[in-house]
Amino acid sequence: MKEKVRWGIIGPGRIARAFAEGLHHSQNGKLVAIASRSKERAERFSKEWQVPFQFYSYQELAESSVVDAVYIATPHSEHMDTTILCLQNKKNVLCEKPLAVNASQVKTMIESARAENVLLMEGMWSRFPPLMRKVKEIVLAGSLGEIFSIQADFGFLPKNKDPNGRLFNPALAGGSLLDIGIYPLSFASMILGMPKSFAALATLGKTQVDEQTSCILKYENGAHALLHSSLRCETNQEAFIAGTDGSLRLHKQCWKPQKMTIQSHHSRKEEYIEMPFEGNGFNYEAEHFGQLLEEDKKDSEVMPLEESLSIARTMDKIRESCGFKYPFEE
Ligand SMILES: NC(=O)c1ccc[n+]([C@@H]2O[C@H](COP(=O)([O-])OP(=O)(O)OC[C@H]3O[C@@H](n4cnc5c(N)ncnc54)[C@H](OP(=O)(O)O)[C@@H]3O)[C@@H](O)[C@H]2O)c1
């Protein structure tokens, strides 16, 4: 039997726990190390998930020889520096979405991964479950005809509106666009590629991050994508693709893609498809990453680095047109 990929996690917060559970269900990976800035938090996480190695600084984990791959689960503002620290120590990196705060940071990270000849991938986890792979297959096969319209939204009302927490704190690159607006954007990018032009509006909150953002992207063939994110209310959390021959609806919560309805415009027939997760869903991105390592690949065809860069460029333009920057970008 092949050796499993030895994973380390940096930043033992909420999503680190979901990833640890995902690894528990993965066929080709195991969790061996955790790094926190605090001894107490590293030990608590270790105990919770039976992790053999604990590090009390990110640097120590990056330099350690006990891991092959590192999952970075820190706030957005920390992604670039933590990723580069790991890449420079020849660690393969799966970094949570968004890969970084802006396109300039993403570009620096990609250059570093290429210079060190290691694998880097953005953890856009909803691309990897079987149902989302099926959506891409259906679109590529032309079953919906030529795609002209996409609508997708992700809005929720956080229980904790702590202005210092990562969702609302501008110093941690908070706001709806980078945190959840990236899901509709990444979805539209997967289906239609890079937009040619756009229009956007944002509502800034007390802390000067966008609490709602809406945009319309326009593509070369005239297609439109209407995308929305909100930290002020819960929205449909659905995604809808319409083409000349049919349409496809990804049901709530489309970011944990497990249910869809396909409609043919010609026969008027509807097909409802359910593909439930095995595990909690995070296992799919971990397994894909492990497969890339086994094949000695340095980039993923499912979430390519150039596409992460293109999405970061679109987010930069949306923020610029809505007139907001993060304090460290001034
Ligand atoms: N895929 C998804 O469904 C999903 C869902 C939620 C979030 N995310 C992404 O996951 C990442 C982390 O989100 P989260 O909700 O897990 O955050 P979180 O619960 O706040 O945890 C973040 C962790 O980062 C570490 N950290 C490092 N520098 C920090 C700083 N300056 N301020 C605060 N914490 C810092 C902390 O660990 P130590 O201090 O102990 O080292 C903390 O536990 C983000 O990129 C977010 O977009 C993804």
Residues 260, 286, single domain; the answer is: no
Q: Are 196 and 315 members of one domain?
A: yes
Examine residue 62 and state whether it is found in any structural domain, yes or no: yes
pLDDT at residue 197, rounded to an integer: 98
Within a domain: 63: yes
Task: Tell me if 306 is assigned to some domain.
Answer: no
Instruction: Please report the sign of the dihedral spanned by the C-alpha atoms of residue 28, residue 30, residue 33, residue 36.
Output: positive
Q: Are residues 91 and 209 in the same domain?
A: no
Q: Tell me what pLDDT residue 2 has.
A: 74
| Contacts with 47 (C-beta within 8 Å, 6 or more apart), sequence order | none
Per-residue pLDDT of the chain (330 residues; tens, 9 = 90+): 579 999 999 999 999 999 999 999 999 999 999 999 999 999 999 999 999 999 999 999 999 999 999 999 999 999 999 999 999 999 999 999 999 999 999 999 999 999 999 999 999 999 999 999 999 999 999 999 999 999 999 999 999 999 999 999 999 999 999 999 999 999 999 999 999 999 999 999 999 999 999 999 999 999 999 999 999 999 999 999 999 999 999 999 999 999 999 999 999 899 999 999 999 999 999 999 999 999 999 999 999 999 999 999 999 999 999 999 999 998
Pair (99, 148) in one structural domain: no
Q: Which residue has the tokens 């439930």?
A: 276
pLDDT value, residue 330: 82
Residue whose CB lies within 8 A of the most ligand 1 atoms, among 159, 166, 254, for a mutation test: 166
303 within domain boundaries: no
| 137 and 116 in a common domain | no
Is the domain of 214 the same as that of 104? no
Residues 116 and 157 in one domain: no
pLDDT at residue 1 in the model: 55
Q: Which two tokens stand for residue 152?
A: 């997708």
239 close to ligand 1 (CB < 6 Angstrom): no
Instruction: For residue 4, give the DSSP letter.
Output: P
Q: How far apart are the first and last CA of the chain?
A: 52
Q: In whole angstroms, what is the distance from residue 130 CA to residue 69 CA?
A: 23
Domain range for residue 96?
5-125+281-290
Specify the DSSP element, H or E, that contains 69: strand 69-72
Number of domains composing the chain: 2
Query: Are both 98 and 157 inside the same structural domain?
Result: no
Sheet containing 270-274: order of strands: 197-204, 210-218, 224-230, 147-155, 239-243, 246-250, 259-264, 270-274
**Cα separation of 315 and 304, whole Å?**
17
Q: What share of the chain is helix, strand, coil (3-state, %, to 5)?
A: 40, 25, 35
Residue 160 resides in a domain: yes
**Residue 26: inside a domain:** yes
CATH label of the domain that carries residue 324:
3.30.360.10
267 and 286 share a domain? no
Reduced to 3 states (helix: H, G, I; strand: E, B; else coil), residue 74 is: coil
The reply to whether 44 and 184 lie within a common domain is no
CA 215, CA 78: separation in Å to the nearest integer?
26
Instruction: Among 78, 96, 183, 311, say which to mutate for ligand 1: greatest number of ligand atoms within 8 Å of CB.
Output: 96
Rounded-to-integer distance, Cα 2 and Cα 133, Å: 25
Sheet containing 29-35, strands listed edge to edge, beginning at the edge strand earlier in sequence: 53-55, 29-35, 5-10, 69-72, 92-96, 120-123
Ligand 1 atom nearest to CA at 166: 20
Residue 164 placed within a domain? yes
153 and 268 share one domain: yes
CATH number of the domain at 18, please: 3.40.50.720
Residues 115 and 142 in one domain: no
| Residue to mutate (ligand 1; options 15, 45, 85, 256; most atoms within 8 A of CB) | 15
Ligand 1 atom at minimal distance to the Cα of residue 37: 41
Residue 302 lies in a domain: no
